[in-house]
A = this chain, B = another copy of it.
Amino acid sequence: MSPSFVYNGDLAAAAGGKPAGTGRVASVYSDVQTSRIDHDLPLPSVLKGPIKVVDGPPSSAAGNPGEIAKLFPCVFGQPSAMVVPSDSASDGPSQKLKIGVVLSGGQAPGGHNVIAGIFDYLQDRAKGSTLYGFRGGPAGIMKCKYVELTPEYIYPYRNQGGFDMICSGRDKIETPEQFKQAEETAKKLDLDGLVVIGGDDSNTNACLLAENFRSKNMKTRVIGCPKTIDGDLKCKEVPVSFGFDTACKIYSEQIGNVMVDARSTGKYYHFVRLMGRAASHITLECALQTHPNITIIGEEVAAKKLTLKNVTDYIVDVVCKRAGFGYNYGVILIPEGLIDFIPEVQHLISELNEILAHDVVDEGGLWKKKLQTQSLELFEFLPQAIQEQLMLERDPHGNVQVAKIETEKMLIQMVETELEKRKQEGTYKGNFKGQSHFFGYEGRCGLPTNFDSTYCYALGFAAGALLQSGKTGLISSVANLAAPLSEWTVGGTALTSLMDVERRHVQTWIF
């Protein structure tokens, strides 16, 4: 290896030659990580003593219950369940369980603690049980790729960020063939239960699995867990998804630093794009924590049918007003998914996709005549670099890649252009320099906060209790979170009760 570069290989590999994904080696941890491993994980009072699971009234759906009932004939209408103290400990030794757990989709801080919670619950309340971790997400279920989790295997991941204990993946179990593979795995491992830790799509998938297993009279039950830093898996019974708290705190610290930088230098407008495509919750929460100068919320832009020009003008108005006070700096928060929330952009994109699929794009620009007036105006309003990006970068299906547009840079260019105009009109006399940022990946895998650590551990315990009591098709629900930990409530909510058939791609959650 060339000595002009440092090359240390993998974290785990560096420490003991173990390949990635076969277990962390705690001895290579930083001081902070080490101090977190043995961090105390307190439980809600109800989980400390003997418990029983009691049913509530039957449930319906968030919308279109008739259609949901047809899609989930076996599990629809199930009551929600509540974990409550039991007067007496269960008689004799409890039944040994075989449980599988899988991480699905993007990382969120706390996922490891859900697994630790399930494991500790089984160790404590169903001695002799086995917990299998499926590797690399739902594909691990289909391919029967798993690891049997032991106290030693789990230990170095306690209170640590990331999903690398068993890794994650974005595959879905959807086709009849895939369901069959899942059934085979469940039978091969003799699974009593499966915990799916994921976001809205993954929990919908968990419910389909629960329905499928029950329809085949299999014993394998399925419980979901609410995971996503985006914070958009949310309802009365599931007040927050795990990871949101940690991610917002990490981003807010970065934003706070950038705000201090802006004030110290006095010459930059920092445009900060924050992770969260389908929802602007992270952006809103970070704004509440940091008080930036401007915050754009995608849902409000959509509700008001604002155009890109409206958004630009709003920013420009604030910049001009601040320049009047002598402030030529500031911080502006933008949600990752802003562009998806602007109706006119959606129109332009679909027209472009149509044109690019069927017509020759001539250099002279005659093709533009095929755009509707509003779309043409928008296209001409976009900075040249963005125009080129829209025309040149396509996904494998030939479609424009909206997600690749760096919204923060696009807005800087559009604000610059508009300010230049106002300068010439004499209505703006300040100086504008934009700096762009994207805060994303560094927040998905941070060390979970005390809240996320404790919340996830309780979610894992709840999932264990629900499976032990024979429940399926529920999502692990820990609520009353604003109260002291001792008063947190623990239970499970029928996944179908959170559903609607209002379509995004497939069934989607209401929030």
Residue pair A7, B318 in contact (C-beta under 8 Å):
yes
How many monomers of this chain does the complex have?
2
Say which residue of B7, B250, B284, B289 sits within 8 Å of A294 (CB atoms). B7
A266 is contacted by which of B5, B167, B314, B437 (Cβ under 8 Å)? Answer: B167
What per-residue 1/0 map shows which CB atoms of A438-461 lie under 8 Å from chain B? 100111111000000000000000
Q: Are A9 and B264 in contact (CB under 8 A)?
A: no
Q: Establish whether residues B297 and A264, one from each chain, have CB atoms under 8 Å apart when the complex forms.
A: no
Cβ of A445 and Cβ of B260 under 8 Å apart? Answer: yes
Bound Cα distance from A435 to B442, whole angstroms: 12
Instruction: Identify which of residues 212-270 in chain A touch chain B, using a CB-to-CB cut-off of 8 Å.
Output: 250, 253-254, 256-261, 263-266, 270
A5 x B297 contact (CB < 8 A)? yes
Q: Assess whether A11 is interfacial by the CB under 8 Å rule.
A: yes
Known contacts: A164-B260, A164-B263, A164-B264. The answer to whether A435 contacts B445 by CB under 8 A is: no
- Cα separation A318 to B9 with both chains bound (whole Å): 9
The stretch from A73-81, A299-307, A345-353, A462-470 touching chain B is A299-307
Would you call A168 an interface residue if the criterion is a C-beta within 8 Å of the partner chain's C-beta atoms? yes
> Does A292 interact with chain B (Cβ within 8 Å)?
yes
The yes or no answer to A107 lying at the interface (CB within 8 A) is: yes
A291 proximal to B (CB < 8 A): yes
Q: Is B4 touching A162 in the complex (CB atoms < 8 A)?
A: no
**Contact code string A282-315 (vs B, CB < 8 Å = 1, else 0):** 0010011101111111001101101000000010
**Known contacts A161-B260, A294-B7; A20/B441 CB under 8 A:** no
Q: Does A8 contact B (CB under 8 A)?
A: yes
A2 located at the interface, meaning its Cβ lies under 8 Å from any Cβ of chain B in the complex: yes
Instruction: Determine the chain B residues whose CB is within 8 A of the CB of A303 once the complex forms.
Output: 4
> Contact between B314 and A257 (Cβ–Cβ < 8 Å)?
no
Establish whether residues B314 and A21, one from each chain, have CB atoms under 8 Å apart when the complex forms: no
Q: Is A16 an interface residue (CB 8 A)?
A: no
Instruction: Indicate whether A264 sits within 8 Å of B442 (C-beta atoms), given known contacts A8-B293, A291-B14.
Output: no
User: Is A432 part of the binding interface, using a Cβ–Cβ cutoff of 8 Å?
Assistant: no
A81-110 residues with Cβ-Cβ distance < 8 A to B are: 106-107
A257 lies within 8 A of B161 (CB): yes
Residue of B nearest to A300 (CB): B4
Tell whether A163 pairs with B443 under 8 Å between CB atoms, given A10-B327, A291-B8.
no
Q: Is A360 an interface residue (CB 8 A)?
A: no
Given the complex, which residues of B lie within 8 Å of A327, measured CB to CB? Answer: 10, 20
- The CA-CA distance from A110 to B261 in the complex, in Å, is 13
Q: Which residues of B contact A162 (CB under 8 A)?
A: 260-261, 263-264
Q: Cβ of B5 and Cβ of A314 under 8 Å apart?
A: yes
> Is A6 within 8 A of B295, CB to CB?
yes
Judged by DSSP, the binding face of A is mixed
Contact partners of A294 in chain B: CB under 8 A: 5-7
Residues 377-415 of chain A, each 1 if its beta carbon lies under 8 Å from chain B, else 0: 000000000000000000000000000000000000000
- Whether A199 is near chain B, meaning CB under 8 Å from some CB there, is no
Residues in B neighbouring A337, C-beta threshold 8 A: none
CB nearest to A3 among chain B residues: B300
- A297 partner residues in chain B, CB cutoff 8 A: 4-6
Report how far A226 CA is from B349 CA in the complex, Å: 52
Q: How far is the CA of A295 from the CA of B2 in the complex (A)?
A: 11
Residue of A28, A136, A264 most packed against chain B (CB within 10 A): A264
Query: Is A19 part of the binding interface, using a Cβ–Cβ cutoff of 8 Å?
Result: yes
Give bound CA distance, A168 to B268, whole Å.
Answer: 13
CB of A175 within 8 A of chain B?
no
- 8 Å CB contact of A4 from B254, B301, B437: B301
Cβ contact within 8 Å between A444 and B263: no
- Report which of B19, B168, B300, B326 forms a contact with A325, defined as CB distance below 8 A: B19
B442 engages A168 (CB within 8 Å): no
Give a binary string over A146-166; 1 marks a CB under 8 Å from any B CB, 0 the rest. Answer: 000000000000001111100
A30 interfacial by beta-carbon distance below 8 Å: yes
> Can you list 30 A-B pairs with a CB-CB distance of less than 8 A?
A4-B297, A4-B300, A4-B301, A4-B304, A6-B287, A6-B288, A6-B291, A6-B292, A6-B295, A7-B293, A8-B291, A9-B291, A11-B259, A11-B291, A20-B263, A20-B266, A30-B289, A107-B264, A107-B265, A161-B260, A164-B263, A164-B264, A168-B264, A254-B442, A257-B444, A258-B442, A261-B444, A261-B445, A437-B441, A437-B442
Other A-B pairs beyond A8-B287, A163-B264, A270-B441, 10, CB < 8 Å = A5-B297, A6-B287, A6-B297, A7-B293, A11-B259, A11-B263, A20-B263, A136-B266, A161-B257, A162-B261
